[in-house]
Amino acid sequence: MRVAAAGDNCIDVYAAQGRSYPGGNAVNVAVYLRRLGVDSSYVGAVGDDAHGDLLRRALEGKGVDTSHLHVAPGSTALTQISVVDGNRVFGEHAEGVMEQFRLTADDLDFLCGHDLVVTGIWGHTAPDLATLKARGATIAFDYSDQAEDPVVEASLGDVDYAFFGLETDDGDDLRAFMRRAQARGPACVVVTLGARGSIAYDGAGFTLTAPVAGEVVDTMGAGDSYIAGFLTGVLDGRPLAECMARGAASSAVTLTYPGAW
């Protein structure tokens, strides 16, 4: 099985600790999939600077296929990060060359050669979802915490697995939202709830999974690693509850160290 992750990347800068780590939603998922034994590729854009070289080398060091990593004149995306009581807090973000990133015809051909394509709301890929879907791609999309973004309504019909990270469970309102979202097309809608675990809706009912208990050093990448774990279950044809349990187990590993990976 091969999975392609397309979209955003960045260097996460922990200024207070004097450290920087490669990251970004699509990049993280690609790396976590490799950690879980799945062949993965990354499609995105970095600058022709030292940060771009760092990110490329780091991905290749993890065994991720970077044959469709674009290198453009300019700066690689940077995000300022602080950690408060173990929780990552995002500061200023400079998108750099990713601001102009768009999938090429060659990228689309490459993505369609994989068993699953995973991308997200920050990756500038939403306009191409309909094309990918029409060509037979299975698509997982991370909407992050942007439940009200117009991209949600515009893209759900082309998404097979929709992920949201909403942190809090507001009961009936959340479940109503998930029902509406799933009715638009996805086989399953999954909401991660931070320390409260996750909830999924597949049209038949709601399934809840608790987080795996353990040390929390840094929450950076926890949601992305959940997605990667969940998708290994999808690739293996496992029941929804097992997919969610795999997501929780993968996330628990990421919580134990600083940075995404």
Lowest-pLDDT choice from 55-69, 77-91, 98-112, 125-139:
77-91
Mean pLDDT of 219-238: 95
The three state secondary structure string of 116-181 is EEEEECCCCCHHHHHHHHHCCCCEEEECCCCCCCHHHHHHHHHCCEEEEECCCCCCHHHHHHHHHH
Which strand (E) or helix (H) includes residue 41?
Answer: strand 39-47
So where are the chain's domains?
Answer: 2-254
Rounded to the nearest 10 degrees, the angle between the axes of helix 25-35 and helix 50-61 is: 20
User: CA 191, CA 193: separation in Å to the nearest integer?
Assistant: 6
- Beta-bridge partner residues of 69: 44
- The answer on pLDDT for 86 being more than 80 is no
pLDDT confidence of residue 213: 84
User: CA 34, CA 237: separation in Å to the nearest integer?
Assistant: 18
Query: Minimal CA–CA distance to 181: which of 208, 216, 154, 207?
Result: 154
CATH architecture of the domain 2-254 equals: 3-Layer(aba) Sandwich (3.40)
pLDDT confidence of residue 110: 98
**The whole model's pTM is what?**
0.93
